[in-house]
Amino acid sequence: MTDLEDGNIPEDARPNQRDVGFELQPVLDAVVSLRAEIPNDAFTAEPLGTERFGSGVVIDDHGLVLTIGYLVTEAERVWLTTNRGQAAPAHVVAYDQVTGFGLVQALSRLDVGPLTIASAKGVQVGSPMIVAGGGGISQTLSARLAAKREFAGYWEYLLDEALFTLPAHPRWSGTAMLDETGKLVGIGSLLVQTTAASGATQAGNMFVPADLLPPIQDDLLRFGKVRREPRPWLGFYPTETEDGVAIAATAARGPAAESGIDAGDVIVAVAGMEVEDLADLYRKMWKLGPAGTKVPLTLLRDGRPHEITVVSADRDSFLKRPSLH
């Protein structure tokens, strides 16, 4: 979808003012470019990199920006740039493991208006959407809502209903998914394979519904996290295979690695309860109790059953906390 010469969305794939029912320019101006620097010794430095680029969306009159959390997890420096080239340093306010959202606060004035958060619950599959990245119209794509469905991620992450769009935006991280009124209904998270109306599979994007933020926003602003018991985290990366839910890798120094779980192990059961798929694995783990709970696992290794009990942890305890520079 990118122009190979300049990295922009082709003009015929961009929205046009005459085809939308709101003023396009001020809405697009609320989407800013984001760059984050992460220290080399950060827990996420190896899997996610030490320099991360994406977008964020201004959501209030004081420069609060909503983005996808992996861009700013453990970041020690963040910069925001508006579509007019105005740059501002920013401070990481919070990262929520459950939703995947990150909040950053601009430390100098951003001369743009905020977007209003709306729900996508009433948006029908097949409806036209706009996917906007930082950079203005050249980074804005006409898309459609291809699906709403459960999403289980290999990093111990689960959404009951994620939003999927087609075609794919090439710079999806932190992009704004806009409805027909120009309101924010999703934040870009992933490039995924999505089934089109024709039945063909093609590259699309997964979005976290923006309406997951308002119920937790006050906690994130006041405490830097949501006041809920942290879920048990094992520090492994499971994936669905023909043999079942198999471990692709483990996080260094994480509970699974310390307990002897290896790549290739297939998880058969949690606390004696059979595992059906990735989402089922997570729900059964999380049902056992909060972080620190012992999680008994039945594994198949080289075709033989193994019983391993993992003492879970709070994932946040492995991460560097935000600090104001």
Rounded Cα distance, 210 and 238, in Å:
26
Q: Per-residue pLDDT tens for 150-184?
A: 999 999 999 999 999 999 999 999 999 999 999 99
Backbone torsions φ then ψ of 268, nearest 5 degrees: -95, -40
Domain ranges in the chain are 1-228, 236-318
Cα pseudo-dihedral 264, 269, 274, 280, rounded to 10:
-70
Can you count the helices (H) and strands (E) in the chain? Answer: 5, 18
Closest CA to 146 of 197, 104, 186: 197
This prediction has a pTM of 0.94
Compute how many other C-beta atoms are within 10 angstroms of the C-beta atom of residue 142: 17
Could you tell me the CA-to-CA distances from 18 to 21, 46, 53, 110, 153 in Å, in that order? 8, 45, 31, 28, 38
Look up residue 94 and give its two tokens. 């919070």
Percent over 70 (pLDDT), the chain: 97
Residue showing tokens 């405490």: 223
Find how far residue 243's CA is from the centre of its chain. Answer: 28
Q: Are 167 and 202 in contact (CB under 8 A)?
A: yes
Helix (H, G, I), strand (E, B) or coil at 15: coil
Could you tell me the CA-to-CA distances from 173 to 35, 58, 65, 313 in Å, in that order? 11, 15, 14, 27
Find how far residue 194's CA is from the centre of its chain. Answer: 17
Closest CA to 263 of 304, 219, 301, 306: 301
Q: Are 69 and 95 in contact (CB under 8 A)?
A: yes
Q: What architecture is domain 1-228?
A: Beta Barrel (2.40)
Rounded Cα distance, 293 and 285, in Å:
9
Q: Per-residue pLDDT tens for 177-223?
A: 999 999 999 999 999 988 776 777 899 999 999 999 999 999 999 99
Looking at residue 323, its pLDDT comes to 67
Closest CA to 309 of 299, 297, 293: 297
Looking at residue 4, its pLDDT comes to 30
Residues 6+ away with beta carbon under 8 Å from 287: none
Residue 23 has pLDDT above 80, yes or no: yes
Q: What is the CATH number of domain 236-318?
A: 2.30.42.10
Average pLDDT over residues 124-135: 97
Q: Per-residue pLDDT tens for 287-311?
A: 999 999 999 999 999 999 999 999 9
Q: Are 233 and 315 in contact (CB under 8 A)?
A: yes
Interior angle at CA 189, CA 320 and CA 21, nearest 5: 130
Average pLDDT over residues 71-79: 97
Residue 13 has pLDDT above 80, yes or no: yes
pLDDT band at 324 (very low <50, low <70, confident <90, very high): low
Rounded Cα distance, 179 and 105, in Å:
25
